[in-house]
Amino acid sequence: MISVKNLKKSFGTNEVLKDISLEVSPQEVVVVIGPSGSGKSTFIRCLNMLETINGGHVIVDGKDVTDKKTNINEVRTEVGMVFQHFNLFPHKTILENITLAPIHVRGLKKAEAEKKAKVLLEKVGLSEKASAYPDSLSGGQKQRVAIARALAMEPKVMLFDEPTSALDPEMVGEVLEVMKQLAKDGMTMIVVTHEMGFAREVGDRVIFMDNGYIVEENEPKALFDAPQHERTKAFLSKVL
């Protein structure tokens, strides 16, 4: 589904991703962990070209996004993204937030888009908020809307960049619950998170990144219970 080969990314002279390779199969849930500044966000943003890549290849659903001939907008419709700070459109209602892209990018009729949006709102438990504006929602509700908005494009992959890091602790659960359900429904997911419980329970594979490299990857149980590398051990001892 996603194939990353020798990905390199620098900001000026700061080489943030040094040599990243990763294969993600359909329906797989890959959790990315690592210390702050290790390049997790940069990595996930490279997957849908929110960052320009300096070297290597990223192939999403058979399309090389690093190839100039690839229509990046088309690829992005297949890749949903959920941000740490939600990035809902404040001038649109919740329903409009969800239908905007399906109408203008997919070319859906308004009625059809709204029907689908309502199903998604139901799924994330926010049916009654359809006509509210984002500002009136709690953080947890905003993030669930953001997930519904991404799902409305019917993506093949979902990327999450620390979806619960900006939330008050009591709201983390409701968002993780939606993500768990999504994983259960067979969505391919790449999730950057500090929620080790989620990684362990939902992840098929956990990637530990440090200093621009993938230091270690394994099944959650193996990685958490028997880390092989010193840096993984050091990191885990701090967060677990």
Partner 1 sequence: MDFRFDIIADYMPFFLKGMGITIGVSLAGVIVGLLLGLVIALGKMSSNRWIQLPFNIYINIFRGTPLLVQLLIIHFGIVPLFMSPSNPIVSLVIGLSLNAAAYIAEIFRAGIQSIDKGQMEAARSLGMTRAQAMKLVILPQAVKRVIPPLGNEFIVLLKESSLGSVLAAPELMYWGRAAAGQYIRVWEPYITVALIYLVLTLSLTYLMNYVERRMSTDDQR
Ligand X SMILES: Nc1ncnc2c1ncn2[C@@H]1O[C@H](COP(=O)(O)OP(=O)(O)OP(=O)(O)O)[C@@H](O)[C@H]1O
In the complex, the residues that contact partner 1 under the rule CB under 8 A are: 48, 50, 73-74, 76-77, 79-81, 83, 85, 87-91, 100-101, 104-106, 133-136, 146, 149-150, 153
* Closer to partner 1 by Cβ: residue 39 or 80: 80
User: Which among 37-45, 142-150, 151-159, 179-187 is the span making contact with ligand X, rule CB under 6 A?
Assistant: 37-45
* Closer to ligand X by Cβ: residue 34 or 203: 34
Among 1, 7, 30, 41, binds ligand X (CB under 6 A): 41
Least distance (Å) from partner 1 to the CB of residue 132? 8
Q: Work out what residue 150 binds among partner 1, Mg ion, ligand X, none; the CB cut-off runs from 5 to 8 Å by kind.
A: partner 1
Stretch 42-61 residues interacting with ligand X (CB under 6 A): 42
Among 1, 20, 33, 40, binds ligand X (CB under 6 A): 40
- In the bound state, the residue with its beta carbon closest to ligand X is 41
Say whether residue 76 binds ligand X (CB under 6 A).
no
Say whether residue 85 binds ligand X (CB under 6 A).
no
Among 1, 39, 142, 214, binds ligand X (CB under 6 A): 39
User: b or e along 58-94 (b: 16 or more beta carbons within 10 Å of the residue's beta carbon)?
Assistant: bbbbebebbeeeeeeeebbbbbbbbbbebebeeeeeb
* Closer to ligand X by Cβ: residue 14 or 73: 14
Least distance (Å) from partner 1 to the CB of residue 85? 6
